[in-house]
């Protein structure tokens, strides 16, 4: 009877963990889209701000001066001067653009950038809240509140192995199945003690204990990666 109950437990737990994997993936994708949108806003805003001053200079110069007043003797000299003016203009655009792009997250600019990103930030938090509700529902399942195996074995990979040991008759009890799993893990070339690594379930539980602050911290860390 123990064998049947354990098999049912493993089967249900594996299905729950697979759902949790999909939820975590959905959250990651939503954050990726958010960072891409903020990067696009930053790029467009920096480009517009950096272009403003050079455009004003060009408009003022073209309206105030006439080519005949430049003292040009031939078309070659005209091309040289226009090329020089173009290089200066490009420099006036590129350097401010790089500066604005680099200083986008600086506290001095934060109020301005937050205003531009306010709408997409609100959408992000609303979407993540819905995603986290689904994750919370899974991690609070009775099978995870009082698991039959240690927390560091609560992964799809390890539970599948335990289920296989019991289903094949290789192990008659859960304790025997755990012993076989430990031996199997130690026999691997790149053995890594599962107790030293967090499972997806453990990471989700830790994240959901303080969802809002953990989400904000994650966004800040990922900003360094996405640029």
- Tokens linked to 124: 């992000």
Q: Are 10 and 166 in contact (CB under 8 A)?
A: yes
CA pair distance 137, 135, nearest whole angstrom? 5
Which pTM was predicted?
Answer: 0.74
Per-residue pLDDT of the chain (227 residues; tens, 9 = 90+): 444 588 899 999 999 999 999 999 999 999 999 998 888 877 777 667 667 777 776 666 656 555 444 555 555 665 665 666 667 667 666 777 677 666 666 655 666 666 777 888 899 999 999 999 999 999 999 999 999 999 999 999 999 999 999 999 999 889 999 999 988 888 775 555 666 678 999 999 999 999 999 999 999 888 777 65
CA pair distance 92, 52, nearest whole angstrom? 10
Q: Are 180 and 170 in contact (CB under 8 A)?
A: yes
For the chain, list the strands marked E by DSSP: none
């Amino acid at each position: 009877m123990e064998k049947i109950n354990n098999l049912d437990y493993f089967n249900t737990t594996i299905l729950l963990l697979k759902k949790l994997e999909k939820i975590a993936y959905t959250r990651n994708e939503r954050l990726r889209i958010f960072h891409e949108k903020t990067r696009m806003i930053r790029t467009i805003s920096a480009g517009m701000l950096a272009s403003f001053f050079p455009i004003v200079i060009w408009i003022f110069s073209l309206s105030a001066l006439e080519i005949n007043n430049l003292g040009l003797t031939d078309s070659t000299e005209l091309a040289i001067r226009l090329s020089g003016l173009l290089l200066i203009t490009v420099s006036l655009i590129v350097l401010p653009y790089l500066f604005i792009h680099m200083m986008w997250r600086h506290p001095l600019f934060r109020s301005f950038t937050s205003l531009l990103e306010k709408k997409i930030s609100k959408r992000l938090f609303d979407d993540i809240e819905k995603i986290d509700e689904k994750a919370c529902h899974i991690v609070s399942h009775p099978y995870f509140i009082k698991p039959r195996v240690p927390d560091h074995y609560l992964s799809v990979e390890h539970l599948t192995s335990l289920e296989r040991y019991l289903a094949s008759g290789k192990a008659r009890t859960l304790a025997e199945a755990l012993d076989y799993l430990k031996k199997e893990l130690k026999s691997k070339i790149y053995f890594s003690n599962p107790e030293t690594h967090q499972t997806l379930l453990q990471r989700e539980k830790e994240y959901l204990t303080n969802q809002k602050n953990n989400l904000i911290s994650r966004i800040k860390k990922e900003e360094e990666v996405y640029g």
